[in-house]
Chain A
Amino acid sequence: MKLLVCISKSPDTTSKISFTEGNSKFDENGVQYIVNPYDEWYALVRALELKEAGGGTVTICTVGSVADDSVIRKALAIGADAAVRIDAEPTDAYYTAMQIAEYAKANEFDLVLTGKETINYNGSQVGGMLAEALDVPFISLASKLDVNGSTATVETEIAGGVQVCEVSIPAVISCAKGMAEQRIPNMRGIMAARTKPLTVVAPADIQALTSFENYDLPPAKAACKMIDPENMDELVSLLHNEAKVI
């Protein structure tokens, strides 16, 4: 089975979020980039498990600049066979998805996996856009995935519960919690990653549909008001009269 896993970089979860250039750009100063956790823990690791069980190859694909190669090597160290970097700034989800779609069309994958969203833009858009461009089924927020021949069985979140469904491949599946356990790359993986193929592909001519104009931070919270644990009537009264939420 030929598996394609779309990965994105994201700032480490504990990064301080601030902006520069008149709040129009994310301030990368001192920010450590990681493989977006949903792409890594869930999509990539599950792809590797499927390959280990049934054979095949796992290729990772990202849209980014040469600065992102270190993040790609991290994903290779976890066990992907090869990587493709489409050499462009991922300006919006549409632009990113259409670039990956061009590559995926030319290389015919059985299954394309993405994380459920990135932790920086939280859009949850690339997978669905890619599926539409490839004209294949899309299942979002899968928590379990198995493949048997040309059929994938997927457990997915629905409002307040889960649903199990079947879909024929090729398909695009976005992966959420439950898919797989995190893998820490070992020394052998890290060494091997250095020599694994990382192909750089020129971008296709695509126009982004949206653009981030600027950012702002939520107003700082006022200090927490401490309430006497013996006096819950006071809390109820504050929630009613001051906060007006009950």
Chain B
Amino acid sequence: MSTLVYINSSNGIGKAALEVVSYAKKLGNDVVVVANGNADEASLASLGEYGASKVMVDRSVEGDSQQVTRMIASAAEATGASTVIFSHDLTAKSVAPRLSVRMKAGLVSGAVAVPEGNTVKVNVFSGKAFGHVKINTDKKIISLLPNSIQPEGGGSACSVEDFASNAGDSSIKVLETKKPEGEIPLPEAELVVSAGRGLKGPENWGMVEELASELGAATACSRPVADIGWRPHHEHVGQTGVAIRPNLYIAAGISGAIQHLAGVNGSKVIVVVNTDAEAPFFKAADYGIVGDAFEVLPRLTEAVKKFKSSN
């Protein structure tokens, strides 16, 4: 019996990949990784430290969901795996449902914990509740929400072998990719600094970026800010944007409408800065500061600097 983990390594091996391998290891069986993308052999082999016994890589497979589905199905057949684990990212959202139909395997998306028997805990109602979903098939697919478990290293590197999956051609022709380099992907970020209309204009984002850079955090924003074009759309967190669950979410000048909360209520700790003491966000916050973001953020940046130099 083995558990198969799918990893798209085209952006290298990120924290989400370490999480899914560690998660698969907790299921108790031998863990085999099937990967596409162009990460180098050493970084693929390092997945062994988190519990993989072998990595199978097919670099000819691109991002098309039909191709990736065929690749994983063929790896599942080759290894006799009965369970497939994904990180619940954009690729998983297009591939895991296809694979579920192809393998006739029950799919649970958005898992937040290790299964108890055949039952998996998931996030539902946009973070307002948890559901416990039972998989009624022998073959199972689980797609794990990023930041749900901590990667557990300590093992040793594993073997990496080329895998000819015969996944066929891509049915999708990529014309253009627009992507800023070097940023922390928001759903994977452990610390996030976010701001809203309270900042009054895009020219004031410097203080948000300074705090984020001092903390090593990603930046995010509320919906109106993305809609007016102050910040790029991929930074928009909330019901219609990205849902995130970082360890720390600092929100400045965001009132905390229910739609915004739906995207951030999985955060471990929430800090809210707002001039309005009645802002609904304070009800969802762990730490609140009633004050002007223009004064509080630079002060907080200084305090973080001071803390870092003395620790």
Show the binding face of A for B, using Cβ within 8 Å: 11, 13-14, 17, 19, 37-38, 92-94, 97-98, 116, 119-129, 131-133, 137-141, 143, 153, 157-168, 174, 176-178, 208-218, 221-222, 224-230, 232-233, 235-240, 243, 245-246
Instruction: Number of B interface residues at 8 Å Cβ cutoff, please give it.
Output: 95
B303's contact among A131, A143, A160, A235, by CB below 8 Å, is which?
A: A235
Q: Per-position contact with A for B250-262: 1 when CB-CB < 8 Å, else 0?
A: 0000000011001
- Residue pair B110, A122 in contact (C-beta under 8 Å): yes
Tell me the complex Cα distance, A208–B108, Å: 12
Contact call A19/B180, Cβ cutoff below 8 A: no
Q: CB within 8 A of A137: which of B64, B215, B296, B311?
A: B64
Q: How far is the CB of A14 from chain B (nearest CB, A)?
A: 6
A224 CA to B277 CA, complexed, in Å? 12
Is B3 engaged at the interface, CB distance under 8 Å to the other chain? no
Contact A167 B171 (CB under 8 A): yes
Q: Within the complex, what minimum Cβ distance (angstroms) separates B105 from chain A?
A: 7
Greatest chain A CB density within 10 A among B69, B90, B236, B247 is at B90
Interface string of B131-154 (1 = CB under 8 A from A): 111111100000000000000000
A89 to chain B, nearest CB (A): 16
Asked if B248 and A209 sit within 8 Å, CB to CB, the answer is no
B33: chain A residues within 8 A (beta carbon): none
Q: How far is the CA of A157 from the CA of B90 in the complex (A)?
A: 8
Min C-beta distance of B191 to chain A, whole Å:
7
Q: Which residues does chain A contribute within 8 Å of B108, judged by CB atoms?
A: 210
10 closest residue pairs by CB, A with B:
A128-B97, A229-B291, A161-B179, A209-B106, A232-B303, A132-B98, A132-B101, A140-B94, A245-B248, A137-B171
Chain B contact residues, CB within 8 Å of chain A: 11, 63-66, 69, 89-90, 93-102, 104-110, 119, 123-126, 128-137, 171-180, 183, 185-187, 190-191, 215, 233-234, 236, 239-241, 243, 247-248, 258-259, 262, 265, 268-269, 271-272, 282-292, 295-296, 299-300, 302-304, 306-307, 311
Q: Is the Cβ of A224 less than 8 Å from the Cβ of B109?
A: no
Say whether B100 contacts A94, CB under 8 Å: yes
State the Cβ distance, B278 to closest chain A Cβ, in Å: 12
| Smallest CB separation, A165 vs chain B (Å) | 5
Dominant secondary structure at the B interface:
mixed
In the complex, the answer to whether A127 meets B129 with C-beta atoms within 8 Å is no
A166 partner residues in chain B, CB cutoff 8 A:
172-173, 175
- Contact across chains for B106 and A210 when beta carbons are under 8 A apart: yes
Contacts A159-B11, A227-B287, A236-B303 given; does A137 touch B106 at CB 8 Å = no
Cα–Cα, bound, A128→B69 (Å): 11
Residue contact B174 to A164, C-beta cutoff 8 Å = yes
Least CB distance from B127 to A in Å reads 8
- With a cutoff of 8 Å between Cβ atoms, the chain A residues found around residue B190 in the complex are 245
B110 CB contacts on chain A under 8 angstroms: 122-123
Inside 8 A of B233's CB, which chain A residues have their CB? Answer: 143, 177-178
User: Across the interface, which residues of B come within 8 angstroms of A210, CB to CB?
Assistant: 106-108, 133-136
Contacts of B295 in A (CB 8 A): 229
* Contact across chains for A216 and B135 when beta carbons are under 8 A apart: no
Q: Which residues of A contact B287 (CB under 8 A)?
A: 224-227, 235, 238-239, 243
Cβ B65 vs Cβ A19 within 8 A:
no
Q: A120-B124, A163-B176, A215-B131 given as contacts; is B288 within 8 A of A227 (CB)? A: yes
Task: Indicate which residue in A138, A159, A164, A240 contacts B98 across the interface (CB closer than 8 Å).
Answer: A138
> A164-B174, A246-B307 provided; 18 other pairs, C-beta below 8 A?
A122-B109, A123-B109, A159-B187, A161-B177, A161-B179, A164-B177, A174-B93, A178-B233, A210-B136, A212-B131, A212-B133, A214-B132, A216-B132, A222-B286, A227-B287, A227-B289, A239-B248, A245-B190
